[in-house]
């Protein structure tokens, strides 16, 4: 039995914690909201984020960070990008007091605003090296709503430390949830962030009334952009064609369970970004990531016309129809 603390009781943190607890591991789910911990422990529900789900009674929630991480082997951070540093600082304080070293994993899909750092880079800055034995990412096509009802799911666990990745692989895998490992932390994190931008675009196409041809074109041409930026930044090309790359691009770009996709649909139906954000009540990582990647693309001198179009819609009030017309009017070219 492995001891694991999951930080963040939103939809994905709860689903991952529930999976590990169902697998028989000692799981403490940390939330900054004491009332939510009481609800999870007493009623085995998380009505705000997974309203249909009944959680395993084996899952223990707490709002006490020290109790959550005491004697655990793994800490898995699953808070939104904007909360990563704040939560990691709290974690570092507690680990310092406990003189405790952990495998530090995360399942967040984004890039930091302003610095454009990957999540593991932020974690490495906040949690001193002697308090973490490895950095690991859980990525791949995995909507919490599907995982919690035991729909078949495969994810990828990326780390330079194969043993650490394998431990998390064992903790999470079961008959309906299959985890693979890979060695590409950078690529697994980067592609996870990039696909959220595409999901906004894909949802927007459906909101506007376009069909599967349009979505297939968008996803495939976005893959070209993801490849170009990924290679420029040092990702392994193979990762793009694995679960953390194309796998996540497909699920987020096609499934209404994706918040990014639903946000795009709302934009396509004529709502404003403020309206779709308010309606969602959950994190839409792709909005901030679009800005980060738009800036990044210029730094790395990578041509990303789809990302640029979505940036112009989100940040420069360009009408969606105009953005699509401009993309379709680009000079004709060869695919290869």
Ligand X SMILES: O=C(CO)COP(=O)(O)O
Ligand Y SMILES: NC(=O)C1=CN([C@@H]2O[C@H](COP(=O)(O)OP(=O)(O)OC[C@H]3O[C@@H](n4cnc5c(N)ncnc54)[C@H](OP(=O)(O)O)[C@@H]3O)[C@@H](O)[C@H]2O)C=CC1
Per DSSP, the residues of 136-205 read EEEESS--HHHHHTT--EEEEEE-S-HHHHHHHHHHH--SSEEEEEES-HHHHHHHHHHHHHHHHHHHHH
CA distance 202 to 219: 8
Pick the stretch among 78-86, 251-259, 309-317, 324-332 that binds ligand X (CB under 6 A). 251-259
Is 146 annotated in a binding site? The answer is no
CA distance 314 to 318: 8
Instruction: Identify residues 89-128 at the interface with ligand X (CB under 6 A).
Output: 109
Residue pair 302/228 in contact (Cβ under 8 Å)? The answer is yes
Is 44 annotated in a binding site? The answer is no
Residue 327 binds which of ligand X, ligand Y, none (CB < 5-8 A, kind-dependent) = none
Is 330 annotated in a binding site? The answer is no
81 Cβ partners below 8 Å, 6+ apart? 108, 109, 110, 111, 112, 113, 119, 283, 285, 288, 289
Pick the stretch among 59-67, 71-79, 245-253, 272-280 that binds ligand X (CB under 6 A). 245-253
> How big is the site for ligand X, counted in residues (CB under 6 A)?
13
Instruction: Identify residues 4-43 at the interface with ligand Y (CB under 6 A).
Output: 8-13, 31-33
- Check binding of 260 to ligand X (CB under 6 A): yes
* Of 63 and 181, CB closest to ligand Y: 63
Is 133 annotated in a binding site? The answer is no
Residue 49 binds which of ligand Y, ligand X, none (CB < 5-8 A, kind-dependent) = ligand Y
- How many degrees, rounded to 5, is the angle at CA 139 between CA 313 and CA 222? 35
- Check binding of 283 to ligand Y (CB under 6 A): yes
Is 161 annotated in a binding site? The answer is no
- Check binding of 199 to ligand X (CB under 6 A): yes
- Check binding of 258 to ligand X (CB under 6 A): yes
Strands 74-77 and 3-7: parallel
Residue 179 binds which of ligand Y, ligand X, none (CB < 5-8 A, kind-dependent) = none
Q: Which member of 48, 117, 195, 318 is catalytic?
A: 195
Is 120 annotated in a binding site? The answer is no
Checking phi first, is residue 307 left (phi over 0); if not, alpha (psi -120 to 50) or beta?
A: alpha
Pick the stretch among 96-104, 157-165, 258-266, 304-312 that binds ligand X (CB under 6 A). 258-266
Least Cβ distance, residue 297 to ligand X (angstroms): 21
Give the number of other Cβ atoms within 10 Å of residue 243's Cβ: 26
Is 182 annotated in a binding site? The answer is no
To the query of whether residue 195 is one of the catalytic residues in this protein, the response is: yes
Residue pair 107/75 in contact (Cβ under 8 Å)? The answer is no
Residue pair 308/323 in contact (Cβ under 8 Å)? The answer is no
- Check binding of 73 to ligand X (CB under 6 A): no
- Check binding of 259 to ligand X (CB under 6 A): yes
Residue pair 106/84 in contact (Cβ under 8 Å)? The answer is yes
CA distance 269 to 289: 22
Q: Shortest CA distance to 96 belongs to which of 72, 65, 120, 131?
A: 131
Dihedral in degrees, nearest 10, Cα atoms 159, 160, 163, 167: -10
Instruction: Identify residues 133-162 at the interface with ligand X (CB under 6 A).
Output: 141-143
Instruction: Identify residues 133-172 at the interface with ligand Y (CB under 6 A).
Output: 142-144
Residue ranges in contact with ligand Y by CB under 6 A: 8-13, 31-33, 49, 78-81, 83, 86-87, 107-110, 142-144, 282-283, 285
Q: Please identify every residue annotated as catalytic.
A: 195
List interacting residues with ligand X (CB under 6 A).
109, 141-143, 196, 199, 248, 251-252, 258-260, 285
Binding positions for sn-glycerol 3-phosphate are 109, 140, 142, 195, 248, 258-260
């Amino acid at each position: 039995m492995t001891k694991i603390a999951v930080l963040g009781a939103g939809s994905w943190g709860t689903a991952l914690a529930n999976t590990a607890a169902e697998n028989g591991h000692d799981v403490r789910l940390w939330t900054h909201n004491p009332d939510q911990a009481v609800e999870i422990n007493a009623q085995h529900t998380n009505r705000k984020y997974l309203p249909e789900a009944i959680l395993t009674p084996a899952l223990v929630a707490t709002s006490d960070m020290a109790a959550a991480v005491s004697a655990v082997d793994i800490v898995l951070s699953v808070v939104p990008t904007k909360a990563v540093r704040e939560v990691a600082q709290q974690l570092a304080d507690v680990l310092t007091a406990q003189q405790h070293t952990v495998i530090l994993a995360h399942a967040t899909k984004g890039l930091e605003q302003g610095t454009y750092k990957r999540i593991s880079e932020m974690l490495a800055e906040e949690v001193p090296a002697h308090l973490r034995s490895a950095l690991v990412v859980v990525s791949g096509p995995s909507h919490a709503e599907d995982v919690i009802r035991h729909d078949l799911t495969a994810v990828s666990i990326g780390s330079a430390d194969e043993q650490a990745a394998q431990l998390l692989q064992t903790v999470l895998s079961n008959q309906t949830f299959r985890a693979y490992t890979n060695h590409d932390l950078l690529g697994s994190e980067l592609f996870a962030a990039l696909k959220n931008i595409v999901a906004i675009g894909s949802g927007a196409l459906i909101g506007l009334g376009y069909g599967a041809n349009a979505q297939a074109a968008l996803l495939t041409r976005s893959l070209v952009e993801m490849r170009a930026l990924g290679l420029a930044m040092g990702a392994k090309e193979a990762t793009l064609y694995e679960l953390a790359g194309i796998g996540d691009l497909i699920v987020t770009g096609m499934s209404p369970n994706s918040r990014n996709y639903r946000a795009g649909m709302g934009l396509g139906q004529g709502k404003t970004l403020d309206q779709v954000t308010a309606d969602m009540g959950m994190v839409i990582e792709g909005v901030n990531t679009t800005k980060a990647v738009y800036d990044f693309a210029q730094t790395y001198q990578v041509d990303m016309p789809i990302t640029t179009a979505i940036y112009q819609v989100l940040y420069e009030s360009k009408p969606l129809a105009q953005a699509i017309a401009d993309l379709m009017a680009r000079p004709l070219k060869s695919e290869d």
